[in-house]
Structure 1
């Protein structure tokens, strides 16, 4: 992964090279703290050890019974689904991957009706084994399989913690079970059983994913000028301190659209605490040049734009044409056009004094994705250290979970009472 922070300097809000040089001492201290946490396998920091501690052979063995699958359906939510979806949506496979990561009844019904459940592997993912959305969806999936005459125990495996409902279910029905790694929050779990099982079923090279991540791990260093991950984490932190409280994350590859969703969860849930944080805004190049770019270039000066691209890709020629005004496109290619759009957007933002950062990988392949995923995780942890945040917790998310559970009769929670006491001003 390569990080170009040159266009983050001198814009509005203003960040100077001198300010980055001063911040570099804090990056060195942050790196010492991160390295110590990794060495002790502390909660959260253990995620940065996954390139070494993940067990790809164990993953392949667990999913081997599902080698005949035409599709794989993951039932999970948030970090239990987004990492796997990032990989499966970025990499081509003959085995389709689907995700039930919401409890919209119409969507769930449409999806289940569209699948041949007798040839579908079902992957149920929940660390606690008690996540209401995940277990509710799984009960619906199990019922659909039974109604279709499919033995759900032959088509299901679970990824979960050492105890809880899913672990008990796996034991009772002798289901293949993968362990969620200890000390790794869900949004940081893509490089583990949680994110790699679907990729293994699809036939992707999960060793290469981990190798790419390991390469980025080796590049962590005590200076932002020596580490692409820390360069990004430190620059985004410095800009947020100066008022760039929105981070528009804009990959220039259709295959990386889900990666932007994964990034949004990582950034928002990890850094949105104590009145701090940077709001991630998902965009897609070149599509959103025709919509969101207007705001980024000419709106309030409170934004950073992160542009992401592979430097190599399969290409397709644009046919010659005699249409007036379009002849210049003939003989070019779609890839050349997309690169021109990327560079034009970058230059446009810079000309308008909008800070922007370029992230690049060689290709959207297993190794490149490993580099990018690990790099963003390390950048996030670096930002959290610089901001003195509790990066690996999510108290606001837990509040909502308790409120929903109480409303459904799953216990007495004061959060549910707060929902019931909502003020209303209805206009009809």
Structure 2
């Protein structure tokens, strides 16, 4: 992974090279804490050990009974779904992958009405085995399979904890089951049993994926000037402290659109605590040059724009044309055009003094995706250390879960009482 933070310097908000040099002393201390956490496999820090602790053979064994399915359906929410969606979109060329990560009745019904259920693999993911949205959706999927005359036990794979309803279900019906990794929060689990099964079904090289992640792990060092991941995390932290409270992640590859969603959860849920943290925004190049770029370049100076792309990609030639005004396009390629759009956006932001960072990998193959996912996770952990937040907890999320459970009759929950205290000013 390559990170260029040059355009993040001397823009607005203003981050200088001397300021980065001073921050580098704190990066060294943070790196020491991260390494101690990895050595002891502490909760959260264990995620940075996945390149060495993940077991590709166990994943392949779990999916071996599913021979070239027509579709794969991941049933999960948050980190239990976004990692799989990211890997499937980036690596699963030709794989018909779907995600049920919401409980919108219309959307669930529409999806189930179109899926070839008899030839669909269902991967249900919940660490606790009790996640309300995930279990509700799975019950709906199971009933749809029953109605269609499909033996759901022959089409279902489970990833869950050692105990809980989902584990009991897997044991009762002899379902293939994988263990969620210990000490790894869901949003940091893309390189684990939570997401690797869909990559395995797609035929991806799991060893190459983990090797790419391991390469980035080996580059973590006590200086931001020696580690691309730390350079990005430190620059984001420093800019947020100076007023860049929004981080707009803009990949220039459609196969990274889900990656931007995954990043948004990683960044928001990990760092949004104690009144600090950057708000992630998602865009797609070159599409959003025609919409969001106007705000980034000419709006409030409260943003960092992160541009992400592969250095190499498949290409499509642009045919010659008889239209004089478009003659400059003929004989080129869509790749040339996208590259020009990328560089023009980067220059446009720099000319307007809007800080931006370039993140690149060689190719969007298994190694490149492994580098990218691991690198952003390590950047997030470093940012959390510098900001002094509990990177691996999510108390605000848990509050909402308890409130919803109470409203549904899942127990006497204090948080549910707050729902009835809503202030109202209704205009009708």
Q: Structure 2 length as normaliser, TM-score?
A: 0.99
Is 2:68–2:201's contact at 8 Å kept on the other side of the alignment?
no
Q: Does the aligned pair in 2 maintain the 1:309–1:361 contact within 8 Å? A: yes
What is aligned with 2:67? 67
Task: Quote the residue 1:202 is aligned against.
Answer: 202
Contact 1:124/1:138 (CA < 8 Å) preserved in 2?
yes
User: Cα distance, 1:365 vs. partner?
Assistant: 1.0
When the two chains are superposed, the root-mean-square deviation of aligned CA atoms in Å is 0.7
Shift of residue 411 of structure 1? 0.8
CA shift for structure 1 position 206: 1.2
Are 1:233 and 1:380, in contact at CA under 8 Å, matched by a contact in 2?
A: yes
Aligned equivalent of 1:20: 20
Aligned to 1:227: 227
Aligned to 2:379: 379
Q: Given that residues 83 and 190 in structure 1 are in contact (C-alpha distance below 8 angstroms), is that contact kept between their aligned partners in structure 2?
A: yes
TM score, norm. by length of structure 1: 0.99
Q: Is the 8 A contact 1:311 1:363 kept in 2?
A: yes
Structure 1 partner of 2:119: 119
Match of 1:349 in 2: 349
- Give me the whole-angstrom Cα distance separating, in 2, the residues matched to 1:86 and 1:180: 18
Which secondary structure does the structure 1 equivalent of 2:250 belong to? Answer: strand
Alignment of 1:291-306 (within 5 A): 291-306=291-306
Q: Which deviations, in whole Å up to 9, do the C-alpha atoms of 1:273-328 show, x marking residues without a partner? A: 00000000000000001110010000001000000000100001111112131111
Q: CA deviation at 1:92?
A: 3.8
CA distance in 1 between counterparts of 2:239 and 2:67 reads 47
Q: Structure 1: how far apart are the matches of 2:147 and 2:22?
A: 64
CA distance in 2 between counterparts of 1:11 and 1:265 reads: 27
Structure 1 CA distance for aligned equivalents of residues 383 and 405 of structure 2 = 33
Kindly indicate whether the alpha-carbon contact (under 8 Å) linking 1:267 and 1:280 is maintained by their aligned counterparts in 2: yes
SS of structure 2 residue aligned to 1:128: coil
Deviations 1:142-195, CA, capped at 9 Å, x for gaps: 000000001111111100011000001011111100000000000000000001
After TM superposition, give the deviation of residue 350 of structure 1 in Å.
Answer: 0.4
CA offset at residue 91 of structure 1? Answer: 2.1
Deviation, 1:10, is: 0.3
Structure 2 counterpart of 1:404? 404
CA distance in 2, matches of 1:189, 1:338: 31
Match of 1:51 in 2: 51
- Does the alignment pair 1:153 with 2:120? no
Q: Against the structure 1 CA distance between its residues 93 and 326, is the aligned structure 2 distance closer, same or farther, given a 3 Å change threshold?
A: closer
* CA deviation profile, 1:354-386 (whole Å, cap 9, x unmatched): 000000001111110000000000000000000
The 8 Å contact of residues 93 and 203 in structure 1, kept in 2 or not, is answered as: no
Q: Who is 2:143 aligned against?
A: 143
Equivalent residues in 2 for 1:162-201, closer than 5 Å: 162-201=162-201
Cα deviation for residue 94 of structure 1 reads 3.7
Q: How does 1:83-98 map to 2 (within 5 A)?
A: 83-98=83-98
Give the equivalent residue in structure 1 for 2:421. 421
Counterpart Cα distance in 1 of 2:328 and 2:70: 44
Contiguous gaps of at least 5 residues in structure 2: none
Deviation at 1:95, TM superposition (A): 3.3
Give the deviation of 1:93 after TM superposition: 3.4
**1:394 corresponding residue in structure 2:** 394
CA contact (8 A) 2:8 2:15 kept: yes
Displacement of 1:3 in angstroms is 0.3
Specify whether residues 7 and 42 from structure 1 end up closer, same or farther in structure 2 by C-alpha distance, changes over 3 A only: same
Paired residue secondary structure (2:159): strand
Match of residue 129 from structure 2: 129
Q: Which whole-Å CA distance do the structure 2 matches of 1:185 and 1:351 have between them?
A: 39
Aligned residues: 428
Secondary structure of 2:249 counterpart: strand
Q: Work out whether residues 70 and 94 of structure 1, in 8 Å CA contact, stay in contact via their aligned partners in 2.
A: no
In the alignment, is residue 281 of structure 1 matched against residue 281 of structure 2?
yes
Q: Secondary structure at the match of 2:86?
A: helix
Give the 3-state SS of the residue equivalent to 1:66 in structure 2: coil
C-alpha contact (below 8 Å) 2:384/2:391 kept by paired residues: yes
Asked whether 1:218 is paired with 2:227, we answer no
CA contact (8 A) 2:271 2:391 kept: yes
CA distance in 2, matches of 1:15, 1:338: 29
Whole-Å separation in 1 of the counterparts to 2:367 and 2:70: 25
Q: Is the 8 A contact 1:48 1:378 kept in 2?
A: yes
SS at match of 1:89: helix
Q: Which residue does the alignment assign to 2:238?
A: 238
